[in-house]
Structure formats: structure tokens, C-alpha cells
Amino acid sequence: MKLLYFAWVRERVGKADEDVSPPAGIRTVGELMDWLAGRGEEYAYAFENRKVIRAAIDHTHVRPDTPIADAREIAFFPPMTGG
């Protein structure tokens, strides 16, 4: 699946997007964040305060307990500050 990062999540991870294949046990958005946080220092830093990080699956806001099984594109980003 494709992951996208925005704003300071992007800056901390050090890239704007990547393709990942998480293990079969990773079922939800929250579990995906836990798994990502274990992938290295930059990910641990990006996901250190998981409560403030928002996620979207295929352009729709989702909660941490949302299943990722059918996702093509998952994005992680800080709370939005547009307008």
C-alpha cells in the first residue's frame, strides 16, 4: 500500500510518500502507526505523539481503529490548519 506524509510528519519521516507491505497482523490504522514507529528513529520521532496524528484512507478521514485491509493509499498528517 502507498503511504503519504504531510507537514511535520513528512519532515520528520524525511519523505513525502513510500510503498510499504506491513505484516499480516497489522489490521488497523493505529496498529500501522505502531508498526511504522518501530521502523527507525525518524519514524519513532514522527509518530511519538500518536494522539495528535490524523489519518486518511483513500481521501477520507479515518479513526485509529479503522481496518486498513482494503486501503490503496493511507495518509498521515497533523491536525489541519487551512482556511
**Contact residues: other proteins, CB under 8 A:** 4, 6-8, 10, 56, 59-61, 75, 77-83
Q: Which is nearer to other proteins, 6 or 35 (CB)?
A: 6
Name the one residue in this structure whose C-alpha cell is 498528517.
77
Closest separation in Å from C-beta 75 to other proteins: 6
36 contacts 26 by C-beta, under 8 angstroms: no
Amino acid identity of residue 69, one-letter, is: A
Q: Do 31 and 38 touch, CB atoms closer than 8 A?
A: no
**Smallest distance from other proteins to CB 23, Å:** 27
Please, which residue, 44 or 52, has the CB nearer to other proteins?
Answer: 52
